[in-house]
Structure 1
Amino acid sequence: MVRTVVFDVGETLIDETRIWTRWAGRLGVPALTFLGVLGACAALDRPHRHAFDLVRPGLDVDAEIARWADDDPDGLRENFDADDLYPDVREGLAALHDAGLAVVIAGNQPPQARAALEAMDLPVDAIRTSDEWGVQKPDPGFFAKVAELSGVPAAEIAYVGDRLDNDVLPAADAGMRPILIRRGPWGHLHAERPEAARATVVDSLLELPALLA
C-alpha cells in the first residue's frame, strides 16, 4: 500500500517550455532550433546540457547564468514560477492529500527552486532539492534521502517522474513504486521503451488518486 507520493519537478510538475524558450533567446538561436536540439538529446540519451554545446560550442553555462543574472536581475531567466505549473498539478496534488496520502516534492534542482516551489503554496508536506541534499538522481543516495524524509518503507512510496534513467529505474531499484508521466520530451520517448514496463505509465496527475487507492 502506498502511503507517500513523491514528485520530480521538471516536466512532471513544471512545464519547462518558457525556460527553454528564454534560453534560446539568450543564446540568439531560434526557439524551434534549441527545442529541437534538446529533444534530440533526449532521444540520444545525452544530458540536456549537451544542447548548449551543440548550439554554442565552448559555452560555459554556469558563467552565462551569472552574466544573465547581472543583465536581468529581476527576470525569471533560467528559473520558473507558478505560471509554469502544468494545469493538473494543484488539483492532482490536492486529490492525493484528500485521499490521506502524504505528498512530497523532491527532484534534481538548484537551490533557488525550493523557494520558488514553496511560494506556490502547493498542497504538499515537504519540498527538497538535490542541491540541499548534496546528491542527485539517479544516485541511490538520493532515493535513500527520499525514504528517510518520507518516514515510511520504500515499498510504501510512489515516485512520479518523466524519465526512465533518473526516475523510474532507480526508484524501482530502491524498492519504490515507479510511475512514469508521459509528458515532456523524455516522458514521451521513454514511455515507448521496453524498460517502461517496470513502471505504471500515466498521462495526467489526475489519474493518480484512483491508481493508488
Structure 2
Amino acid sequence: MQGPLRWVLWDVKDTLLKVRSSVGKQYCKEAERRGLSLNTAEVEAAFHQAYRHYFSHYPNYGVTQGLDGQIWWTKVVKDTFSKCGVQDPGLLNTMAQNLYQDFCSSENWEVFPDSKAALESCSSLGLKMGVVSNFDSRLEGILRLCGLLHHFSFVVTSEQAGVAKPDPAIFQQALHKCGVPAASVAHIGDHYVYDYVASRSLGIHGYLLDRHNKHCYADIPPEHRLTSLHELPSRLQQHMN
C-alpha cells in the first residue's frame, strides 16, 4: 500500500468515546424515575440478552426489514424491562422513548482523554477526516454535543448507509466521499474484524486501537496496533510523503 495519505476515517464508539456508565445503571435510573426499583445486574443481563436477540434477528437496526434505529432501540428497551417483570405497555413505551432521547445527550457519553488531541494533530498535519460507524442516526448529534463533530467532513452511519461494518460497501461509500484511492486513506477503530480486517481488505491503512491489550492476533504487525491515540500522528506521518 502506497500513500500519500490524505484522509483518516474513524470508528466512534469505544474508539473516540464510550458510554459513561453501564447500561444497567442508566436503565435503572429511568425505572426509578417511574417509581420502580430494579436490580442493576439483572437489568444489565436482560439488556444483553435482548440486544443479542435483535442484533441477530434484525441486523443493522433492521433497516432492510422495515425498521429504523429508533424503532429497533425501542424494542430492545421494552424487551429488557419486560424480562425484568415490567409489563405495563404505557410505562414500557415511556421509558423506551425517554432512554432513546437520553442516549442522544452528551451526558451519557465520555470522550476518551486522548481523542481530541489526536484529532487536532491529524488536522494540523493537513489530513481530512470522516467517520464510518455502526451507529444509528443519532451519531452526528452526539458528536456535536461532545465537541467532536467539527473535525469531520462527513459522517457515515450504518443506519444511513444501509450496510454495516465489516461489509466493504460501507467503506466504499466513505471512500467515494473522500474522492481518493484506498491507499490514500487510513482507518482507526477498536474492533479486529469490523475495523482492522475490513478496512485492510480494501487497501485502506487500517490501525487497531487496543487500549487494554486484549487482541492477541498474530497477523497484526506491531506498527498496525495502537495502545493510545497519542501514537497515531507519528504512524500516519510515515505515509504522507
Task: Return the TM-score normalized by structure 1.
Answer: 0.75
**Does the residue aligned with 2:220 lie in a helix, a strand or coil?**
helix
**Does the residue aligned with 2:135 lie in a helix, a strand or coil?**
coil
- 1:9 is the counterpart of 2:33: no
Which residue in 2 is equivalent to 1:194? 218
- 2:141 and 2:26 mapped to 1: Cα distance? 21
| 2:157 partner letter | T
Q: Answer whether contact 2:25 2:40 (CA < 8 A) is retained.
A: no
- 1:209 is the counterpart of 2:233: yes
5+ residue gaps in structure 2?
32-37, 56-71, 79-90
| 1:180 partner letter | L
- Partner residue of 2:174 out of 146, 159, 171: 146
Distance of aligned partners of 1:200 and 1:73 in 2 relative to their CA distance in 1, 3 Å threshold: same
Task: Return the TM-score normalized by structure 2.
Answer: 0.67
- 1:165-190 per-position Cα deviation (integer Å, ceiling 9, x unaligned): 1111110111101101013xxx743x
Distance of aligned partners of 1:33 and 1:149 in 2 relative to their CA distance in 1, 3 Å threshold: same
Once the two structures are overlaid, the 10-residue window that deviates more, 194-203 or 112-121, is 194-203
Q: Answer whether contact 2:54 2:76 (CA < 8 A) is retained.
A: no
- 2:157 and 2:174 mapped to 1: Cα distance? 10
Q: Answer whether contact 1:5 1:102 (CA < 8 A) is retained.
A: yes
Q: Answer whether contact 1:177 1:199 (CA < 8 A) is retained.
A: no
For residue 135 of structure 1, report the CA deviation from its aligned partner: 1.1
Q: Answer whether contact 2:7 2:129 (CA < 8 A) is retained.
A: yes
**Does the residue aligned with 1:193 lie in a helix, a strand or coil?**
coil
Aligned length: 194
Q: Answer whether contact 1:19 1:79 (CA < 8 A) is retained.
A: no
Distance of aligned partners of 1:68 and 1:197 in 2 relative to their CA distance in 1, 3 Å threshold: farther
Which residue in 2 is equivalent to 1:101? 127
Distance of aligned partners of 1:158 and 1:48 in 2 relative to their CA distance in 1, 3 Å threshold: farther
Instruction: Give percent identity, aligned residues only.
Output: 22
